[in-house]
Chain A
Amino acid sequence: TGRVPNGRQSGNKPRLMLMGQRRSGKSSISGVVFHKLPPSETLYLETTTQISQSSMHSFMDFQIAELPGHIDFFSPDFDQADIFGNIGAVIWIIDAQDQYLDALTQLLNTITYLAQEWPNINVEVFVHKVDGLSEDFKNDTFRDIRQRIQDELSDLGYDNAPVSFHQTSIYDHSIFEAISKVIQKLLPQLPTLESLLNSLCSSCRIQKAYLFDILSKIYIASDTSPQDTTSYEVCSDLIDVVVDVGEIYGWARPPVDGKTGDQRTEFNNHACESMVTMEKKGHKYLYLREMNSYLALVCIMSDDNPMERKVLIDYNVGVFQEALSKVFQWK
């Protein structure tokens, strides 16, 4: 078409487009992930009727748009370049608690359209609302949806369309994890970040390390060792603890008897740091350190006693932070 290729070029501005049928959960997802809406409040969301844009100013300026289910973007009323021109990924939401055959047809149309016109856009299928389902039913549904789409695509000759599948719910961490993976694919720096994290892990005996965007709790990279969901959860929850406690107690107190206030003598620890040690010996501990005002490193350590090795950790984390600032050209 002669247009500038879309998507991955847009640097630190991952642009996402949420699509899917009415009530599939698009507004809920954008509310919960990008606006900190409590999941239970999504019951009061009104139906979105227009293409709505919102952005989140954070480490990356995430841009997220929502395309209401009833809008037929094939119609000539729409400027498709306007809609898809800058998009890195389309997230297609399927309500797993509902009949999904119609949705699959729509999804398939979208995938084939994108594959022809905007081949650089990733399609990320979220099999959504899996919270209400039994484990078996959930897995069967997921497999069924993936199988049907893949079969149809290969029948149509689109075996290589960039389509991935995720199971999500706004009631647990799965939605954040899925969005994280979607965004990571759009980050040109990902391989560098991963290898930096890998070397940090091996030098400090870290079991799992995540680099989080603090505001959204999306992780933009992790080391490449295998992970289970609960590692992400426990690290992301530590951010909650630190952010929430910081919100409660991080205020400028008046000086009292010339004592508190700004008498931050000795070690003025401006980068926030947090550590949790477990009671039972042999249980791991958690470590968090702010990298800049948007990013935090959160690690699951595999040692018993953090204090003994604190100096080593501080040193290596310092090195990591330095490398990070080069990758992203801070300062």
Chain B
Amino acid sequence: MMSTGSSSKRQKQRKVLLMGKSGAGKSSMRSIVFSNYVAKDVRRLGATIDVEHSNIRFMGNLMLNLWDCGGQDGFTESYLTHQRSHVFASVAVLIFVFDVESREFNADLINYASIIRALYEHSPGAKIFVLIHKMDLIASQHRTSMFNERSEHIRQVSHDEGFGGKGEGRGKEVEFWGTSIWDQSLYKAWTRVIYFLVPNAGVIEGLLRQLADVVEAHELILYERTTCLMVTHISRPYETEGNKHPDRFEKLSAILKAHKQSVAKHTGMPAGSANFAELQIKTGEFMFLITRLTENTNLAVVLPSGEARYNAARINIALAREQFGELDIPTGKSVQRDRA
């Protein structure tokens, strides 16, 4: 077994700030994505006092260091003053949450401006994701226009503060996502954040592409086991072009997360450990297999139907595990892993 000391050398700690007004929904989304809450459980959450930290490992060498920053005025005040450098130094990503129902959008904008000003001072290279949250509260026919209108204002403020636009912020465009804890939009936004942070996405994709060829898969999806967030996917051109569900990756996250929860409830296990060893679906049109790939990730494989091909794919994935295991804890070739 590896000692943690040697693996942490190349482990990438990435600091992610989660900010926004109190009640915007930050802790709610964090609990759903990272702590296996279901949407209706979040009513139990109290306001966050100061900062709550959580660490989440993705693919071994990516360690997400999430700072859920309580948004009550007093706390925000202190982030901006005496905690300023502590909070805003070496930030990789800022996720800023706007409550779409807020009645004080202008005040929210001012708050946002002062936060990203501090971010610019201490971590000018940080990436900003803005989530316009609680979209479920807007009737569906108004969602798009509401989203566009809010994003436009926020984008303008971001440009003024040096994030995006034609001036000094060039190339640091802020990304906008409309989200709700009640549907898969939450996973879509967070998947984007993860992909942005995964350091060796290229290498992983290279290996997955080889595997996809060997097993003749329509599509491979690699996702993190606890959160069910996708790390990356490999798709044949015909799947990319022909599949009618461009949002299938976040849908799958939501589906798998729900499944995990119902199994946990049934067995009485904590949701975090309610992991299946394998899930298979066989139909006349396609076959679908999910199995563990590395310590923190599962692989979903979509195959043409056929029992022989299916069995071959299972074996090839088992063989590929070792390769991916080295990616997981990267210390060169001689890694001994005692997985049973």
Contact = CB atoms under 8 A, between A and B. Distances in A.
Contacts of A171: 40
Contacts of A140: none
Contact of B239 (A245, A253, A276): A253
Interface in B281-305: 281-286, 288, 292, 302, 304-305
Contacts of A271: 284
A238 interface: yes
A250 B283 contact: yes
Contact of B277 (A131, A240, A241, A279): A279
A254 interface: yes
Interface in A233-292: 233-234, 237-238, 240-242, 244-254, 256, 259-260, 263-280, 283-284
A40 interface: yes
Given A248-B248, A279-B276, A260 B262 contact: no
B265 A233 contact: yes
A248 B251 contact: yes
B44 interface: no
B307 A266 contact: yes
B266 A231 contact: yes
A263 B304 contact: yes
A242 B136 CA distance: 26
A213 to B, nearest CB: 19
Contact of A234 (B255, B256, B262): B262
A269 B236 contact: no
Contacts of B292: 279
A95 B283 CA distance: 42
B279 interface: yes
A44 B142 CA distance: 13
A38 interface: yes
B275 interface: yes
A272 B283 contact: yes
A13 to B, nearest CB: 29
A254 B218 CA distance: 11
A1 interface: no
B251 A246 contact: no
Contacts of B302: 249
Contacts of B242: 251, 253-254
A75 interface: no
A40, A259, A300 — most chain B CB neighbours (10 Å): A40
A230 interface: yes
A269 B307 contact: yes
B284 A277 contact: no
Contacts of A242: 281
Contact of A268 (B279, B281, B286, B305): B305
Contacts of B278: 275-277
Given A250-B285, A267-B307, 5 more contacts: A237-B259, A244-B255, A263-B304, A266-B306, A278-B274
Interface of B: 40, 136, 139-140, 182-183, 216, 218-219, 236, 238-239, 242-245, 248, 251-252, 255-256, 258-259, 262-263, 265-267, 269, 273-286, 288, 292, 302, 304-308
20 contacts: A230-B265, A233-B262, A234-B265, A241-B255, A241-B279, A242-B281, A244-B251, A245-B252, A246-B283, A248-B252, A249-B218, A249-B219, A249-B286, A259-B216, A266-B306, A268-B284, A269-B283, A280-B269, A283-B269, A300-B266
